[in-house]
Structures are given as C-alpha cells and as structure tokens.
C-alpha cells in the first residue's frame, strides 16, 4: 500500500462507517406522503392532510392505459370492501388524460371514490415523479407510504396488507 492509499484509508473507513450508521438509523423508516391539494371531478377542493387516521390507496392512472382500465374493477372492489373501516381511495388521472375522457370514465363506471385530474402534473411530481401508469400507493394512518406498486398489484396480497394497516393504531 503506497503512502496516498494509507492516508486515504481512514477517510474511506470513516465514510463507510457514516453511511452504515445512516442506513442503520433510517432502517424501518417509511417515506412520508407529500402534502398535496387537489380538486375532485365534482369540484370539491381537498388536500392530503385530510387523510390523517385513514389508510389511503392513491392510484395514478389514465383512460388510455389498458392495465389501468383492466384493474379498475378490482380497485373499486377493494374500496367497497374496506371503506367502512377507515379506508379511502383517490384515483388521480394523469395530466395528459383529456378531462372529458376522465369524467366520462368515472361516470360510466360509477367510480365510488374521489377522482382528481392532475392537470399540471404536480401531484405526480410530488409523489416521486410518477410517469408510469398504473402506479398505486398504499399510505398508512400516519401518512407514510407503505407500498408502491408499478403495474397491477396482486390484489389478494394488497387486501392482506390493507387489513394489517387498518388494525394498526394511528
């Protein structure tokens, strides 16, 4: 080992120890859901602070996304199964989705939960620059993102996780 390597060795070891300590102290911490404001198709203005104490399913989707359209009946069934226990759902249509298409889809499918159009793309950006649809996030009662699904979730596993989260205290 040359002189330069010997001099840099303590610096490298300290950096590794610091990274290890950071990973250890952040182990098990959940990503906090961002605070976002949105307007539902019915004109109601809401924000994510109102989710406190609920388990939330936030589904980013588009009417042009075949997987989104295919999974929507299961999103509806999930909402219906858990809504009476402190569970809610928000469907966020992507900014490129024509509002008339979103409104028609929501009305014709009788979506039983809130539907917002992310006109500016700001909601998707705040949730981690979401671009792929469907992307679904499961948020616990403390406002932490517990699970992020890209593509169609395994709904049996999702239901098991929702049951577990609903049983937790806020």
Residue by residue, pLDDT tens for the chain (170 residues) are 665 555 545 544 444 444 344 344 344 567 899 999 999 999 999 999 999 999 999 999 999 999 999 999 999 999 999 999 999 999 999 999 999 999 999 999 999 999 999 999 999 999 999 999 999 999 999 999 999 999 999 999 999 999 999 999 87
Q: Which pLDDT score, from 0 to 100, does residue 170 have? A: 72
CATH, residue 51: 3.40.30.10
How many Cβ atoms from other residues are within 10 Å of residue 121's Cβ? 14
Q: Is 46 a member of any domain?
A: yes
Q: Is 65 a member of any domain?
A: yes
Q: Provide the residue range defining the domain that includes 56.
A: 30-167
Residue 150: phi, psi to the nearest 5? -110, 120
Q: Which pLDDT score, from 0 to 100, does residue 31 have? A: 87
Q: Is 23 a member of any domain?
A: no
Q: Which pLDDT score, from 0 to 100, does residue 7 have? A: 52
The count of domains in the chain is: 1
Q: What pTM, to 2 d.p., does this model score?
A: 0.82
Q: Is 125 a member of any domain?
A: yes
Q: Is 9 a member of any domain?
A: no
Q: Is 111 a member of any domain?
A: yes
Residue 1 CA to residue 9 CA, distance in Å, equals 10
Q: Is 5 a member of any domain?
A: no
Q: Is 162 a member of any domain?
A: yes
Q: Which pLDDT score, from 0 to 100, does residue 5 have? A: 54
CA angle 142, 147, 152 (to 5 degrees): 140
Residue matched to tokens 């024509």:
98
Q: Which pLDDT score, from 0 to 100, does residue 6 have? A: 58
């Amino acid at each position: 080992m040359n002189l330069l390597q010997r001099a840099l060795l303590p610096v490298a070891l300290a950096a590794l120890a610091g990274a290890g300590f950071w990973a250890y102290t952040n182990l098990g911490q959940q990503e906090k859901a961002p605070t976002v404001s949105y307007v539902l198709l019915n004109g109601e203005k809401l924000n994510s602070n109102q989710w406190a104490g609920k388990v939330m399913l936030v589904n980013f989707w588009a009417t042009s996304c075949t997987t989104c359209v295919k999974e929507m009946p299961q999103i509806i069934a999930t909402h219906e199964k858990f809504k009476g226990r402190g569970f809610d759902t928000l469907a966020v249509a992507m900014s490129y989705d024509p509002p008339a298409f979103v409104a028609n889809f929501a009305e014709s499918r009788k979506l039983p939960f809130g539907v917002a159009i992310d006109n500016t793309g700001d909601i998707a950006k705040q949730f981690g620059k979401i671009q792929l649809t469907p992307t679904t996030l499961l948020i616990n009662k403390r406002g932490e993102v517990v699970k992020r699904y890209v593509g169609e979730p395994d709904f049996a596993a999702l239901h098991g996780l929702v049951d577990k989260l609903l049983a937790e205290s806020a």
